[in-house]
Amino acid sequence: MIVRITGTGSMLPAKQVTNLEISQIVDTSDEWIRERTGIGARYLSTGETVASLATGACEKALEMAGRTAEEVDLILVASCSSEMLLPCSACQVQANIGARRAVAFDLNAACSGFMFALNTAYAYLQAGIYKTALIAGSEVLSKIMDWEDRGTCVLFGDGAGAVVLEADASTNAGRGLIGFVQYSDGSKGEALVCESRALHNPYYSEESKNTYVQMDGREIFKFAARQVPVTIEEVLQKTAIPKEEISYFVLHQANARIIEAIAKRLDMGLEKFPLNLDQVGNMSSASLPVLLDKLQREGRLDRGMKLVLSGFGAGLTYGACVLEW
C-alpha cells in the first residue's frame, strides 16, 4: 500500500512580532537573536488557540487534497501547549470541521510531535486500518514561555500546520512515505522541561511550581547537531536511498546554526535545507508542516521529488522519514 501526502495547510496567528519589538520586552537585540539563531520574527497568539489554529490548517490541507471532512478516518494533533486538558485538541478539530466518522486523539512528543504523528498515521494506513488521515502540529507556546527569560522567550512562536495522508492503491501513486526511524531518550529529559500545575488534593499538597519552559540551550544544541545527522543517515541507509537523491532536507526549525551544522556533517549544500524560522521562529510541532506547506504553495515541490523530514526536541525525542512527493 502506498501512503502519501495529498494536501498541506497552515495557519498562523494574526500578529507577527519582530526582534526589535521583543527587545522592548526583555534585554536582547535583533543582532543577538539573528546571529545566534537566525530568527527575525515570530507570530504570537492574540486569542488564537491550539484548536483554532489546527482547525484552520486542517481545512486548508483538506481543500488542497480535494477531500471532505466526512472522508477523514483519523485525526492526530501533535501539541505540547494545548489550552484544554480535556477534551483533546484533535476532538475539538473534529467537531470544528465536522469530521463525524473520524477517530481523533492528541500526541505529545514536543518538537518531534508532528514527525511521530505522521509516522503513527502512516503505520495505521499501511496496515489497512484507515484510509485517510489528517495530521496537524499546532502550538501556542507563548502561553508557556517565561516572558522575563530572554534565553527562551525570544526563540519560540505560535502557529499550526497540517497534512492529509492517504492510502493510495493506484498504479501512479509513486512511492509516498518510504520509511522512518524514531527514537526517545528520557534520560536526558531535564534539558528542556515545562512542568504542569502542582498537585493539590485532600491528602497531599506540592509547593507551587515553575510552569514555564526551562531549557539548557547548549545541551539541546549539542544533541541536535550530533544526533540528527546520524538519524538522517540511518533512515537513508534503511530505505536504500543515496543522500544525493534528496531534493530537500526539511528539518525542524529550531536554530539556523543547528541546521548549518547538520548540513555540514551530512556534507550537503545548504540550498537543500529550506528555512522559514526568520519569519516564524521555533514553532515546535508546527515547524515541519508549516514549512512543508510553504514549499508546496511556492511550487517548490514536484511529484517524484524525494524529501527527508526530521524533527527533534524535548523528551529528548528525534526521528526522520524519507518520502517521495
Is 111 annotated as catalytic?
A: yes
H or E segment to which residue 244 belongs:
none
Among residues 82 and 282, whose Cβ is nearest to ligand COA?
A: 282
Does residue 221 bind ligand COA (CB under 6 A)? Answer: yes
Give Cβ neighbours of residue 79 (< 8 Å, ≥ 6 apart): 50, 54, 89, 106, 108, 113, 137, 138, 139, 285
For 14, list phi and psi in degrees, rounded to 5.
-70, -30
Contact between residue 139 and residue 286 where contact means Cβ atoms under 8 Å apart: yes
Residue closest to ligand COA, measured at CB: 217
Listed residue (138, 289, 157, 135) closest to 213, CA to CA = 157
Residue matched to cell numbers 526563540: 155
In sequence order, the β-bridge partners of residue 251 are 310
Stretch that binds ligand COA, among 43-51, 149-157, 162-170, 242-250 (CB under 6 A): 149-157
Q: What distance in Å separates the CA atoms of residue 320 and residue 176, rounded to the nearest whole number?
A: 15
Where in 98-117 is the site for ligand COA (CB under 6 A)? 111
Among residues 96 and 214, whose Cβ is nearest to ligand COA?
A: 214
Does residue 220 bind ligand COA (CB under 6 A)? Answer: yes
Does residue 32 bind ligand COA (CB under 6 A)? Answer: yes
Does residue 213 bind ligand COA (CB under 6 A)? Answer: no
Is 252 annotated as catalytic?
A: yes
Does residue 218 bind ligand COA (CB under 6 A)? Answer: yes
Q: Which of 91, 108, 119, 252 is catalytic?
A: 252
How far lies 273's CA from each of 36, 144, 161, 222, 277, in Å?
Answer: 18, 29, 19, 19, 12
Among residues 61 and 111, whose Cβ is nearest to ligand COA?
A: 111
Stretch that binds ligand COA, among 26-34, 60-68, 237-245, 298-306 (CB under 6 A): 26-34
* Minimum gap (Å) between residue 25 Cβ and ligand COA: 11
Q: Which of 58, 80, 91, 111 is catalytic?
A: 111
Listed residue (273, 275, 268) closest to 242, CA to CA = 268
How far lies 263's CA from each of 76, 193, 226, 306, in Å?
Answer: 30, 27, 11, 17
Contact between residue 177 and residue 323 where contact means Cβ atoms under 8 Å apart: yes
* Minimum gap (Å) between residue 87 Cβ and ligand COA: 27
Q: How many residues touch ligand COA (CB under 6 A)?
A: 18
Contact between residue 273 and residue 256 where contact means Cβ atoms under 8 Å apart: no
Residue type, 30: D
Does residue 183 bind ligand COA (CB under 6 A)? Answer: no
Among residues 154 and 235, whose Cβ is nearest to ligand COA?
A: 154
Among residues 55 and 112, whose Cβ is nearest to ligand COA?
A: 112
Task: Candidates 15, 34, 36, 188: give the one binding ligand COA (CB under 6 A).
Answer: 36
Where in 234-293 is the site for ligand COA (CB under 6 A)? 254-255, 282
| Interface ranges with ligand COA (CB under 6 A) | 28, 32-33, 36-37, 111, 150-151, 154, 215, 217-218, 220-221, 254-255, 282, 313
Which residues are part of the catalytic machinery? 111, 252, 282
